[in-house]
Structure 1
Amino acid sequence: MKKLEIGNFHVKDVVFGNETSYKDGLLIINKEEAMDYILEDEHITSLDLKIAKPGEDIRIVPVKEAVEPRIRPDGRALFPGVIGDLAPTGEGIVHALKGISVLGVGKHYGSFGDGVVDMGGKGQKYTLFGQLINVVLIADTDEEEERFEQQKKNHAIRWAAHKLAEYIGRAVKDLEPEDKDIYEFEGVTKRDEKTNNLPSVVLVMQPQSQMEMMGYNDLIYGWDMNHYVPSFINPNEILDGALISGSFMPSSSKWSTYEMQNFETIKELYSRHGKEINFLGVILSNLNVSLEQKERSAIFVANIAKSLGADGAIVTEEGYGNPDVDYIRCIVALEDVGVKTVGISNECTGRDGKSQPLVVLNEKANALVSTGNVSDLIELPACEIVYGELAALGRDGLSGGWEGDEKLGPSVREDGSIILENNAMFCGDGISGWSVKTVKEF
């Protein structure tokens, strides 16, 4: 049995001070020390740290990554194979600071996968991160070769966010957690009779892995998932830092690393394990470009699920468009081997809501959960403070933003107000399972 113990520290406020420490809900960060640590990376050419709290009139853009601050008391890296040596994940103890995130933000240049977070006003509701206290890492880099590219790897800023999350986590390394979440994963053949008699369910996750050039895709233990084939893994590994976000998918539909650390669908399945269902674990799949690759992965997934004895499956994709083909093909393949399957994804139905919601549909995909339309138009008033650079939304090809439109004008208006598609709201679709959206029938 693998047992993962996440010790929680519930942060109520964050301030800068003389030492990085935590006590009674107050997190103090030594800003100078934290910045010196990040600036050890010579590719970071300018840096600032800010704190953004829910309800403040702050707009943050271009947001590239979000990470929950954590630390492993035994000294293992928070993200093995990424910011430290390779080591197993999914068991042992990790300490987590809850209610806050580290946001990696560009100072001047955005890209297709970057997004917007509003901390207050009408825009706050569009993303989970408007509800959290955010330590905002605003940086520029010397990655000149991609500065004016729409698609960026954003390596230096993303890695800086991972490092800062671990640095902040040191504040609670030797403290006693306020409460604990314990995830015990038994081998699928070692479970008691009661559990084995419950309907068995597997979760199929399809992280972003379409780019054949390395550096854009999600990573598993530091390994680019374009090289990955579907495999059965312990869900604890996902919750424990084995998987990190990439820099490719349109912003509203991406899974940030924060979401992978807190993958709500996994948590929900665990909460019902042994009571309503027998949670078999995760089949970690991939998203491909060629039809042959898509078909191969669907075969892998269906065969693994059938071999595990799954009665049901949940399939969830990161992104939309081309990945819809992998998503629907996987659902159909599972149904074909007798595994009843539910899908979770967003839709791209156009600004008028009248287009086909997914690129491909099939009558066997008859139980789909929608997390909303990426093309919904959103208009938001100006915010008093901007962290990053507002112009990036219109100038730099962020998904959901534009420089000019015949009818709508520019995304960024002279008065600081903005108009954008939901596409640009950072991780706003909540495909990992946290979405607060509801469906209304008209």
Structure 2
Amino acid sequence: MKLEIGNFYVKQVIFGEENKYDDGILTINKKEALDVVFEDEHITEADLVIAKPGDNIRIVPVKEAIEPRCRLDGRSIFPGVTGDLAQCGDGRTHALKNCSVLVVGKHWGGFQDGLIDMSGEGAKYTLFSELNNICLIADTDEEFEKREQQKKNKALRWAGMRLAEHIGNIVKELQPEEVEEYEFEAITKRSEEVNNLPSVALVLQPQSQMEDQGYNDLCYGWDCNHMVPTLMSPTEVIDGAMISGSFMPCSSKWSTYDFQNLPMIKRLFKEHGKTINFLGVIMSNLNVALEQKQRSAQVVAQIAKSIGADSAIVAEEGYGNPDADFIAVIVALEDAGVKTIGLTNECTGRDGMSQPLVSLDSKANAIVSCGNVSELIELPPMETVLGELEALGRDGLSGGWADDELLGPSVREDGSIIMENNAMFCGDRVTGWSTKRMSEY
């Protein structure tokens, strides 16, 4: 499979009379864009606001992030979700880089939603403060879930995907500034030189613990709760096969933007044929029952062994209960003779003193930490709030609270906030990039 991604590097986003892209300036006709949003009758209110790096803007509750893209052959950028089912990972896609469509609730937040600061102290905690964000601030008539801690957010998430494709089509007929090429040869057809290199498989564990439909990550529109571990081409993952769900404390979340730009895949491609033989992605899942966890771990190890993996990288979306899946897969791979490292965040409590993962094993001895979800973050007021700041405390955002006997409310009267890292939108970046670094003491 050969995927080409034609990149257009956005320097500024503005609203104007016509949709166009010229010399890094992306112009969007707001009315036409909102018409796409209102195609869903459940959307009751919507507006678009540009938030760029350095703006004195706080955005909450953020529900999803998507990179604007289009396919040159006219197919949907998310087959099986926003369009007919079709193969991802082959052909030409155009992408607007340095920007995202952010889906933001106008009022109601939930456990899986997060916060982004575009400047100041808070900006360092998330990559999205570095992007030109086209913020869809919207509300729906989905009364059944407005006050639920867990929300499917379907109308808003799907509106974000339609909007991202609408904006992506602005550059459909243009010549990109750069073309990335990702060619993934069949494992059995590779040269002797490549086959003699150390072989590596990437194991991804997207969020899939909810047995009810509509909360979990999707693979070609299929709820990942229904999956067994599956071997995929890495080009499929970065080309729209995977869609973020709506269930996960937010700093642990993998947004759709993360799947589209998954840095670990890009790094493995960069090393492929030079220092390693990249065998592909084993797309696994996260389960609830112990038997399900053990079954998935067994299948992952079998696939890795069957394709000849010498080593593997395992990344989990989440923490707590998913730690058991994460450690089980690492142990199964090690038992199969596959040397394995893991990528995860930790839940070590506000004081950093608790056990970092729910499940541990001596064979899981090469773990890369992406930070503590419970770390306390205190931030000053921001001039502008997009969405509703009260959502942080009132609606059960995983890092916020209405009141705390020691710390008081998350949202103070002056607009300053205190919260756990949990509520920072995609802050831990377990997929292979981070604004954080580790220090030895």
Query: Within 2, Cα distance between the matches of 1:216 and 1:436?
Result: 27
Write out aligned runs for 1:141-290 (5 A).
141-290=140-289
- Aligned position for 1:49: 48
Unaligned 5+ runs, structure 1: none
Secondary structure of 1:295's match? helix
Unaligned 5+ runs, structure 2: none
Query: Within 2, Cα distance between the matches of 1:132 and 1:436?
Result: 13
- Aligned position for 1:39: 38
**Residues 66-122 of structure 1: CA distance to partner in whole angstroms, max 9, x if unpaired?**
000000011000100111111100100000000000000000000100000000011
- Aligned position for 2:439: 440
Query: Within 1, Cα distance between the matches of 2:357 and 2:92?
Result: 40
**Residues 150-209 of structure 1: CA distance to partner in whole angstroms, max 9, x if unpaired?**
000000111111011000001100001100110000000111111100000000000000
Secondary structure of 2:188's match? coil
Count, aligned residues: 441
The amino acid that maps onto 1:67 is I
Query: Within 2, Cα distance between the matches of 1:241 and 1:439?
Result: 32
Shift of 1:286: 0.3
Query: Within 1, Cα distance between the matches of 2:439 and 2:94?
Result: 40
Query: Within 2, Cα distance between the matches of 1:441 and 1:88?
Result: 45
The amino acid that maps onto 2:50 is I
- Aligned position for 2:313: 314
Query: Within 1, Cα distance between the matches of 2:39 and 2:340?
Result: 47
Query: Within 2, Cα distance between the matches of 1:43 and 1:388?
Result: 18
The amino acid that maps onto 1:323 is P
Secondary structure of 2:328's match? helix
Shift of 1:268: 0.6
Secondary structure of 1:189's match? helix
Query: Within 2, Cα distance between the matches of 1:217 and 1:20?
Result: 34
Query: Within 2, Cα distance between the matches of 1:341 and 1:73?
Result: 38
Q: Do residues 361 (structure 1) and 366 (structure 2) align?
A: no
Q: Do residues 65 (structure 1) and 64 (structure 2) align?
A: yes
The amino acid that maps onto 1:385 is T
Q: Percent of pairs identical after alignment?
A: 69
**Residues 280-315 of structure 1: CA distance to partner in whole angstroms, max 9, x if unpaired?**
000000000000000000000000000011000000
The amino acid that maps onto 1:147 is K
Query: Within 1, Cα distance between the matches of 2:22 and 2:170?
Result: 9
Secondary structure of 2:285's match? coil
Shift of 1:436: 2.6
- Aligned position for 1:18: 17
Secondary structure of 1:324's match? helix
The amino acid that maps onto 1:120 is S
Query: Within 1, Cα distance between the matches of 2:422 and 2:309?
Result: 34
Query: Within 1, Cα distance between the matches of 2:55 and 2:338?
Result: 47
- Aligned position for 1:403: 402
Shift of 1:441: 1.9
Q: TM-score, normalised by structure 1?
A: 0.99
Query: Within 2, Cα distance between the matches of 1:364 and 1:114?
Result: 34
Secondary structure of 1:363's match? coil
What RMSD in Å do the two structures reach over aligned CA positions?
0.5
Secondary structure of 1:123's match? helix
The amino acid that maps onto 1:202 is A
- Aligned position for 1:337: 336
Query: Within 2, Cα distance between the matches of 1:437 and 1:51?
Result: 26
Preserved CA contact (<8 Å) 2:125 2:436: no
The amino acid that maps onto 1:431 is V
Secondary structure of 2:203's match? strand
**Residues 404-429 of structure 1: CA distance to partner in whole angstroms, max 9, x if unpaired?**
00010000000000000000000000
Query: Within 2, Cα distance between the matches of 1:374 and 1:31?
Result: 37
Runs of 4 or more off by more than 4 Å in structure 1?
Answer: none
- Aligned position for 2:347: 348
- Aligned position for 2:4: 5
Shift of 1:147: 0.7
Secondary structure of 1:241's match? helix
Secondary structure of 1:240's match? helix
- Aligned position for 2:412: 413
Query: Within 1, Cα distance between the matches of 2:21 and 2:4?
Result: 20
Preserved CA contact (<8 Å) 2:125 2:435: no
The amino acid that maps onto 1:373 is N
Query: Within 2, Cα distance between the matches of 1:226 and 1:190?
Result: 33
Secondary structure of 2:189's match? coil
Query: Within 1, Cα distance between the matches of 2:319 and 2:182?
Result: 31
Shift of 1:437: 1.4
Query: Within 1, Cα distance between the matches of 2:241 and 2:44?
Result: 29
- Aligned position for 1:305: 304
Write out aligned runs for 1:373-388 (5 A).
373-388=372-387
The amino acid that maps onto 2:92 is I
The amino acid that maps onto 1:89 is C
The amino acid that maps onto 2:435 is V
Secondary structure of 1:201's match? strand
The amino acid that maps onto 1:432 is T
